[in-house]
A and B are shown apart, each in its own frame.
Chain A
Amino acid sequence: MSGATPASTMQIGQLAGLKMGKATRDAFGAALKELGAEFPNVVVVDGDVGNSTRTEPFAKAFPNRAFNVGIAESNMVGVAGGLAAAGKTPVVSSFACFLICNAFEQIRMSVAYPGLNVKMVGSHAGISIGEDGASQMGIEDVALACALPGVTVIVPSDAMCARKATRAMLEHVGPVYLRCGRAEVPEIYTADSPFQIGKANKLRDGKDATIIANGLMVGIALDAAALLEKSGVKVRVLDMHTVKPLDEAAVVAAAKETGRIVVTEEHLMAGGLGSAVAATVARTHPVPIEFVNVGDTYGESGDPAGLLQKYGLTAEALVSAVNKVRSR
């Protein structure tokens, strides 16, 4: 449960000509501190990992509005529920797995069921956290969060997206889960780029297929699109940063206009973005879909780039998936 070394060995975004940027957890932390004065009701509840989740800068700037309740995630979420019931906007944060998995029952009863205005931020999502291994990897979190009625689920793809998502999350009334990563990711957006909860961003257009991605996989999807273009295949790339509520219009348009879909995420197959997209496509405009994700297995220790390679979360894997879905 340490967290200093960035995953600088990764080459994500190079094929697409993107510059490497900051990790989404860093962008979230910086934005939270910046927004602290503008949102006086915001308070932070931390389970003693604030230096990893990046709530620490806020806690240092606003010490009376930050509560470190120790390594006790269940209580941490309950305290956040109480703060929200009293009119505060608590940002409760831990590693994605400890927040969502450990405190799932508390999120269900003390946040989601009463519909309280709690902002849940999970860091260290996915297998790209690297060396710490499977116990620290949140790869079930999106499925669990999406299972809860009324919870908005956001998976930002780059630092700018995370920064804008942080503001949007605080402005939104109701429970939100924001999923952040530890690895550095390429810069996809600029300050002028749009961000709206529940509205996908079309990053590239093409008629041959659509890659729907979120989080770290967006940069990899753009790399895959660049590779495919070399062989004359033009794909649409959607950044589906909001898994719930899903931008169904964008999914339906992709199905209708490109006829083939590949969904990719740094998450298990079960219950994530792939499931959400598949359900929508099956119900509206059935077309072939392939999935590139962690599958149905746990991760392990290793360097982030090596892990992404081993678990098939690469531009090459996406190219294969696009070719496969086009051949069906």
Chain B
Amino acid sequence: MSGAAASLTVDQLKTKATAIRRHIIQITTEAGSGHPSSSLSAVEVVTALYFGGFLRHNKANPRDPKRDRFILSKGHAVPVLYSTLCEAGYYSFEQIMTLRKLGSPFEGHPNMKRLDTMEASTGSLGQGLSIGVGQALACRLDGYDAHTYVMMGDGEMGEGQVWEAIATAAKYKLGNLTAIVDQNGYQQTGATKDVLDLKPFASKFEAFGWHTQTISGNDMAAVVKALETAKKITDRPTAIISETKKGFGILPVLEATGDPNHHGKPLSPELAEKALALLV
């Protein structure tokens, strides 16, 4: 496929991740709403997918049937995806700065009808992995060597549909499917361990027949290694439990507010300045 992502080194990926984090802060502060902290935890994985040589995508034809797919099931974190696609040359910074504004296709949650780079319309949690199973089944049926990645949040794992999809992926031995749990430890009203603690995830996936890895998900080298390993597993689906920090990269700024979770809150322009000063 043409337009496959350049494969950057770990150091180059870290630089890219910083640029993406800056975009996340800037566009959500400009929007005055959104989920920057949920986006920031996922930056290393999304950056590595698009720039580490993993996700084969085609800017000239985003719906190329042979492309690899990345489904952001935790759709509220879509600023990480818009920011990454901006860095990948799909959209200008001016375009993604229209986030959440009337008339903008960069909506508060992914809308595949308005953006051909979105693989699913998400935002109602728990549905992305099922869609990924469908995509993976279709690719296999068509004989395409395409890989489907689905990212979920750890709070999202409370949705029963996720476990239905996990069972189905195992039944069909979908070696072309990778689930990533962005385990940032928080959900809307508090710590995930206090709301509905479903950890450990790895042993649960394994019980269903999945291959699993548990990694430090804000460590770029670990993320790259895990994605390399996942590619090699072809006889069953594979899950990466990505242990992250919600708001990673600007944690001191969030902690100083007394609300380290900072769910669904943009930074004020003043706090954004402080955050951007950390992202250099």
Q: Name A's B-contacting residues (CB within 8 A).
A: 43, 45, 64-65, 67, 69-70, 72, 74-75, 77-88, 90, 105-106, 108-110, 113-115
B120 at the interface (CB under 8 A from A): yes
B168 touches A75 (CB 8 A): yes
Closest beta carbon of chain A to B103's beta carbon, Å: 18
Contact of B113 among A45, A77, A84, A114 (CB under 8 A): A114
The answer to whether B131 touches A82, judged by C-beta atoms less than 8 angstroms apart, is yes
Q: Which residues of chain A are near B129, meaning CB under 8 Å?
A: 78
Interface flag for B198 (CB, 8 Å): no
Is the Cβ of B167 less than 8 Å from the Cβ of A106?
A: no
A43, A82, A88 — most chain B CB neighbours (10 Å): A82
* CB atoms of A110 and B112 under 8 A apart: no
Contact of B130 among A65, A79, A84, A114 (CB under 8 A): A79
**Contact code string B112-142 (vs A, CB < 8 Å = 1, else 0):** 1100000111111011011111111111011
Contact call A70/B137, Cβ cutoff below 8 A = no
Closest residue of A by beta carbon distance from B71: A82
Q: How far is the CB of B70 from chain A (nearest CB, A)?
A: 13
In the bound complex, residues from chain B placing their C-beta under 8 Å from that of A75 are 130, 133, 161, 164-165, 168
* Cβ-based interface call for B65 (8 A): yes
A residues near B135, Cβ cutoff 8 Å: 82-83, 85-86
Q: List 19 A-B contacts (CB under 8 A).
A: A70-B171, A72-B161, A75-B133, A79-B130, A80-B134, A82-B133, A82-B135, A82-B138, A83-B134, A83-B138, A85-B112, A85-B134, A86-B65, A86-B135, A105-B124, A108-B124, A109-B127, A113-B121, A114-B112
B172 close to A (CB within 8 Å)? yes
Kindly state the separation between the CA atoms of A58 and B161 in the bound complex, as whole angstroms.
26
User: A79 contacts B137, CB within 8 Å?
Assistant: yes
Number of A-B contacts (CB under 8 A): 112
Which 6 A-B pairs have CB atoms at the shortest separation, nearest pair first? A82-B134, A78-B130, A86-B138, A75-B164, A72-B164, A82-B131
The complex places the Cα of A172 from the Cα of B112 at a distance, in Å, of 20
Closest to A43 in B: B141
Assess whether A69 is in contact with B122, with CB atoms less than 8 Å apart.
no
Is the beta-carbon distance between B164 and A69 smaller than 8 angstroms?
Answer: yes
Residue of A nearest to B138 (CB): A86
Bound Cα distance from A87 to B160, whole angstroms: 27
Task: Given contacts A81-B131, A83-B138, list 10 more A-B pairs with CB under 8 A.
Answer: A43-B138, A69-B164, A72-B168, A75-B168, A79-B131, A88-B134, A88-B138, A109-B127, A110-B127, A110-B131
Contacts of A88 in B (CB 8 A): 134, 138, 141
Quote the shortest CB–CB distance from A29 to chain B (angstroms). 22
- Cα separation A64 to B127 with both chains bound (whole Å): 24
A240 to chain B, nearest CB (A): 29
Q: Do residues A109 and B168 form an inter-chain contact, with CB atoms below 8 A?
A: no
Instruction: Give A69 to B169 CA distance when docked, in angstroms.
Output: 9
Tell whether, in the assembled complex, residue B168 and residue A79 are in contact, meaning their CB atoms are under 8 Å apart: yes
Does the CB pair B172–A81 fall under 8 Å? no
Asked whether, in the complex, the Cβ of B127 is within 8 Å of the Cβ of A106, the reply is yes
Min CB distance B152 to A, Å, is 13
How far is it, in angstroms, between the C-alpha of A64 and the C-alpha of B140 when the chains are bound?
A: 10
B160 pairs with A82, CB closer than 8 A? no
Compute how far the CA of A123 lies from the CA of B131 in the bound complex, rounded to whole angstroms: 24
B168 touches A70 (CB 8 A): yes
Query: Which B residues lie within 8 Å of A82 (CB)?
Result: 120, 130-138
* A84-B134 in contact (CB<8A): yes
**Measured CA separation A64–B111 after assembly (Å):** 31
Which partner residue on chain A sits nearest B123 by CB separation? A109
- Determine the chain A residues whose CB is within 8 A of the CB of B138 once the complex forms: 43, 82-83, 85-88
| In the bound complex, CA of A246 to CA of B141 (Å) | 37
Contact of B121 with A109 in the complex, beta carbons under 8 Å? yes
Contact indicator A65/B141 (Cβ below 8 Å): yes
- By a CB distance below 8 angstroms, the chain A residues around B123 are 109
Q: Which residue of B lies closest to A65 (CB)?
A: B141
Is there contact, CB below 8 Å, between B121 and A114? yes
A79–B167 CB distance below 8 A: no
A105 to B159, CA, bound (A): 12
User: Are A106 and B164 within 8 A (Cβ)?
Assistant: no
Q: Smallest Cβ distance from A81 to chain B, in angstroms? A: 5
CB proximity of A151 to chain B, nearest CB, Å: 14
Pairwise interchain contact B134-A79, C-beta atoms closer than 8 A: yes
> Who on chain A is nearest to B118 by CB?
A114
**What is the bound-complex CA distance between A238 and B142, given in angstroms?**
43
Chain A residue nearest to B159 in the complex (CB): A74
Tell me if A67 and B122 are in contact (CB < 8 A): no
A109–B122 touching, CB < 8 Å: yes
B171: chain A residues at CB < 8 Å are: 69-70
A72 touching B167 by the CB < 8 A rule?
A: yes
CA distance A114 to B118 in the complex (A): 11
Contact at B160–A74, with CB atoms within 8 Å? yes
From B119, B130, B134, A74 is in contact (CB under 8 Å) with B130
Q: A69-B168, A72-B167 are in contact. Are A85 and B120 (CB under 8 A)?
A: yes
Complex-state Cα separation, A240 to B167, whole angstroms: 41
Q: Report the minimum CB–CB distance from B20 to chain A (whole Å).
A: 25
**A81/B130 in contact, CB under 8 A:** yes
Contacts of B126 in A (CB 8 A): 74
Query: For the complex, what is the distance from the CA of A156 to the CA of B127, rounded to whole Å?
Result: 31
Pick the contact of A109: B124, B134, B137, B139 (CB < 8 A): B124
State in angstroms the CA–CA spacing of A75 and B161 once bound together: 6
Q: Shortest Cβ distance from A122 into chain B, in angstroms?
A: 19
Beta-carbon nearest neighbor of B126 in chain A: A74
